[in-house]
Chains A and B, each alone.
Chain A
């Protein structure tokens, strides 16, 4: 007896042999010209009619439209069909739409199958009608075969906890946290650094309004710390995520501060006495901090942390004369805290592109070549030079500065990124304008490929930069930077407007490097089981219609972690993600597909092979009945146990062995002529 035959016998699969009362309706969607323009729909209808149990085959321009849906509904209502196959786009697109019709007409929604003849046929064989037709027919065969085997299932309802985990506390995480916290949901805001704020805290001014970045960010940071619904977990990292939509269990590593956060008053006396001097990461190493530190004065929480990589354990900070509250504790260890949340928002931000591999620009070799973020700190009034940018080589005010655009972005060479980082054009113009405001006599050049001033007020900002501030825009990507003996720089390239080679001496060069996915993005993706795009950023469920959802239910993406964007877009997306999470939590429950697996006790031999295979610990052993038992709430429906069971005793709802085998039989059936 074959495995597929076996599975037809037991309990929930018992009525699985196609009975006489199966009436399949096939609905072939033209999808405008997307499908109808490639394959012969009339022939498809005739073909569909030849398939077993198909009583009706129809075609229509758009079955997802109201009229199209009404046609399917009418056939169900009139009792003509009791199984529905729609041959159209991907089920990932419209399966919920069509299932709803079945529900509305009183038919079980799982009596539906969708043949993907657009993404998997006509769109990949646009110029090969015969080939596309062949694939479409096969996909139809497969789904008709499957729909005949499908069983009625009840959607599962799971409760959603009214709490949210937000990973990353930059401007995206902060906004999401505030929106959710203000709606009354409990929020755990996890940040790996010692302060919240992210990259935005490092920026000086923001384009195009020239708002001071910290002036608009720090009130938000304070608001987060004051919100009773938000728990800030700074200097912490997510270790493990278990559970499913509505019920995630999250383990968070609270890294040791070596300073008792409940006793520290943030007075800063310890930092004044600390003898260690190390580069301050916040200023990209251009200023100094002690081993006991807060990242920047407005940090939230404004409590001190000891950097154990650099601490010499001299103990000066621990003396009562220095730390009166006795907060220093060198024996502190990391703690693991577990929180339970209903939703997760991933807002882990970005890394700036490392430009040291671009040898022709000499970053790291030539002192006066700096990155965009270094220039930003240089311009900042809280930065190492208190807002008076200087040439790194001699500390003098530069008279001429050149910005090089698209460094590391829009470059298909190895080690670079083909995408546009979207912020560099604007920040370079902004920095040049800021410099011109301070030093109107200075020469500012921006070497660009295209200026992408796409946002509200951006084009005007760009225009004024050249017309009012006299910043010189030169089109052409620079070939090379050379250092002169006096440490000034000779830049070589081509002015593509004049079509002439160009050589220019400047005091300083700013490489406008873009953004890239965080180095640990892969780790985060694995933790919360979300996907990444080819560019490394987290992948949204649909590029147009679900830009803040991940493919994993209950997990949302916000900010640059999803792709390059500027602050207004980040905030919009953060609000979108907050809204997505809030909808789930406000409803309090969510319908999940009942694709869990069931052990057929009569067939289970109690070998326990399945138990070790389940990554979710959903399978337990019933020592009384000597059989395995699957907890449907814990089962995520991967079906790995099904393919492991030597006795074929496990069924996966909607993906039973019989159903999957029927697809193979349906497409490669006995009547197939080769």
Chain B
């Protein structure tokens, strides 16, 4: 598959750490962060090619199981994108996320994963630039962390 050949060709020229391209699963709420990601696109804000975006209507919909499933299956990082506090389209869905995620971060730490594998960030519909910066920063951190140890190599 394409991924394999790319990684292999890169390892020839770069060091292994540089060649590692983290897989970030973004779970974004429809109204703020997903729209913000659209805005980043429309404004052609370039970012590293590591973020895959999945849309939910509200960050309150994000189930811990989804994040655990993504990490179990080898995602190097999960970025949950929510509205700013007070801006939630559904009044307070993001409050629930704000309370859930820290618990989950503790939990994944107990699983032996680095707490940075899960990030919750508040990114509004007009903050494409912030999203871009956050992704850049996250990619840097994940590159330093290295691949998710749960990743199955074949």
Q: List residues of A whose CB falls within 8 A of some B CB.
A: 2-4, 43, 47, 90-92, 116, 118-121, 123-128, 130-135, 137-139, 142, 522, 525-526, 529, 531-534, 539, 551-552, 595, 613, 615-616, 636-640, 642-644, 652, 655, 657, 660-661, 663-665, 667-669, 672-674
Judge whether B96 and A640 touch: CB under 8 Å. Answer: yes
Judge whether B125 and A531 touch: CB under 8 Å. Answer: yes
**The residue from A92, A552, A643 contacting B60, defined by CB atoms under 8 A apart:** A643
Q: What B residues does A665 contact at CB under 8 A?
A: 69, 73
Judge whether A125 and B92 touch: CB under 8 Å. Answer: no
Q: Nearest residue in A to B91 (C-beta to C-beta)?
A: A615
Bound form: Cα–Cα A672–B153 in Å: 9
If A665-B69, A668-B74 touch, whether A134 touches B3 (CB-CB below 8 Å) is yes
B71–chain A nearest beta-carbon distance, Å? 9
Q: List residues of B whose CB falls within 8 A of some A CB.
A: 1-4, 6-7, 21, 23, 25, 31-32, 34-35, 37-38, 40-42, 44-49, 51-58, 60-66, 69-70, 73-75, 86-93, 96, 100, 124-127, 129, 132, 147, 151-154
Judge whether B35 and A660 touch: CB under 8 Å. Answer: no
Judge whether B74 and A664 touch: CB under 8 Å. Answer: no
* Closest CB pairs A-B (n = 10): A131-B49, A119-B41, A639-B61, A640-B60, A638-B90, A668-B73, A638-B58, A615-B91, A123-B41, A531-B125
Judge whether B4 and A673 touch: CB under 8 Å. Answer: yes
Q: What A residues does B23 contact at CB under 8 A?
A: 668
If A119-B42, A127-B46, A663-B54 touch, whether A2 touches B65 (CB-CB below 8 Å) is yes
Q: Nearest residue in B to A652 (C-beta to C-beta)?
A: B61
Bound form: Cα–Cα A89–B140 in Å: 28
**The residue from A2, A4, A90, A135 contacting B52, defined by CB atoms under 8 A apart:** A135
Bound form: Cα–Cα A12–B70 in Å: 26
Bound form: Cα–Cα A644–B40 in Å: 32
Q: What A residues does B89 contact at CB under 8 A?
A: 529, 551-552, 638
**The residue from A2, A4, A525, A636 contacting B87, defined by CB atoms under 8 A apart:** A525
B24–chain A nearest beta-carbon distance, Å? 10
A640–chain B nearest beta-carbon distance, Å? 3
A15–chain B nearest beta-carbon distance, Å? 22
Q: What A residues does B35 contact at CB under 8 A?
A: 92, 531, 551
Q: What B residues does A642 contact at CB under 8 A?
A: 61, 63
**Further 5 A-B residue pairs, CB within 8 A, beyond A120-B41, A124-B46:** A119-B38, A134-B6, A522-B86, A638-B93, A639-B58
A271–chain B nearest beta-carbon distance, Å? 40
Q: What A residues does B62 contact at CB under 8 A?
A: 643
Q: What B residues does A127 contact at CB under 8 A?
A: 46
| Sampled A-B contacts (19; CB under 8 Å) | A119-B38, A120-B38, A130-B6, A134-B3, A134-B21, A139-B53, A526-B87, A534-B126, A551-B35, A551-B89, A639-B57, A643-B60, A643-B64, A643-B100, A660-B66, A672-B73, A672-B74, A673-B3, A674-B152
Bound form: Cα–Cα A376–B40 in Å: 40
B47–chain A nearest beta-carbon distance, Å? 5
Bound form: Cα–Cα A47–B60 in Å: 34
If A124-B45, A124-B47 touch, whether A638 touches B57 (CB-CB below 8 Å) is yes
